[in-house]
Structure 1
């Protein structure tokens, strides 16, 4: 009888098809076993993104995800730390593994609307995030910034958030430019657990 390991090895010799994942079990099957004519394309299977496709073109116009996130569990919302005025969570659409967002609880749109307590805590959480990411992922640098307003590229323009993107000396390639695709090597839940576990207690 053919073992799962043998089938997985055979699959990687052609075009692998990743089947249903139930309760942590993933089956890998070779496309040679199916009735189809292969073509020249390689494919990245991203079924987790169906939730965004099904939500429609403007899902954030109905409910602000940054207002909803604090009411959810840390695991479900990808929150790694909660402060008094702001919280820290993973970006659902990361530029790199460990891409964090610092978000005030208040629904404010721009940095000039933040009060002194919110500004101070955003700053302190940013420093902690940098130290934690350096310790856990051994990154070489960071991109830190805010897009203010939709015209400036803010994906969720109605709720202020600051990006912290860890960078490595070898993390740049032509894949995003040529293929319009960003390869992110680690799962969000795995990164959240690691960063949250390394976050210092308040």
Structure 2
């Protein structure tokens, strides 16, 4: 089996241990922000969940749907949280389809460090838009992931798409 190294991910994962050492959860802190705040990655707040852009996305538009309640076990989600997570993932897919026009999506969760979770103490679900040919030689040869759009530009597109869905 060949290995694909992504050392940039170590910086990302290490940033969460630093946050934990300071006594905080990055998701619990993010929830306290306002969607309207200029540099906030927060895209949407619901009753039991929120949707946020991934600071280190696999692709443009990489979102995470996160329960507000701090928990790490999927099995501990309440029925309301579970239903809302699924509804918010569907809404995020619709918003991403309007804003980004991807050809497909990856949706899922990494439960535990060994499964690849960068933040394993606060459950969250990823929705990653995909395009034909969205992986190229740059990550393999140059250890660089090319993202063509600034996160705040992506956020503006998504906010407009969510607004369209609301009307």
Q: TM-score range by the shorter chain?
A: 0.7 to 0.9
1:112-191 superposed matches below 5 A: 112-191=75-154
CA distance in structure 2 between the aligned counterparts of 1:188 and 1:61, rounded to whole angstroms: 24
Query: In 1, distance between residues paired with 2:116 and 2:20?
Result: 16
Higher Cα Rg: structure 1 or 2? 1
**TM-score, normalisation: structure 1:** 0.70
The answer on whether the counterparts of 2:16 and 2:119 sit within 8 Å (CA) in structure 1 is no
Partner of 1:197 in structure 2? Answer: 160
Partner-residue secondary structure (3-state), 2:166: coil
Distance apart, 1:57 and its partner CA: 7.8
Deviation at 1:178, TM superposition (A): 1.8
Report the secondary structure of 2:120's partner residue.
coil
Q: Contact 2:16/2:26 (CA < 8 Å) preserved in 1?
A: no
Name 2:47's counterpart in structure 1.
Answer: 84
- The more displaced of 166-175 and 71-80 is 71-80
Provide Cα deviations, 1:137-176, integer angstroms capped at 9, x if missing partner.
1100001110001111100100000000000012121211
Partner of 2:51, secondary structure, is strand
- The 3-state SS of whatever aligns with 1:81 is strand
Instruction: Pick closer, same or farther for the CA change 1:65–1:57 going to 2, 3 Å.
Output: closer
Q: Which residue of 2 aligns with 1:61?
A: 20
Poorly superposed stretches of 4+, deviation over 3 Å: none
Distance in 1 (CA, whole Å) between partners of 2:71 and 2:85 is: 14
Instruction: State the TM-score, normalized to the length of structure 2.
Output: 0.84
Question: 5+ unaligned residues in a row in structure 2: which ranges?
Answer: 1-7
Count how many residue pairs are aligned between Structure 1 and Structure 2.
151
Superimposed CA distance per residue, residues 75-102 of structure 1 (whole angstroms, 9 cap, x where no aligned partner):
3331111110001010000000000000
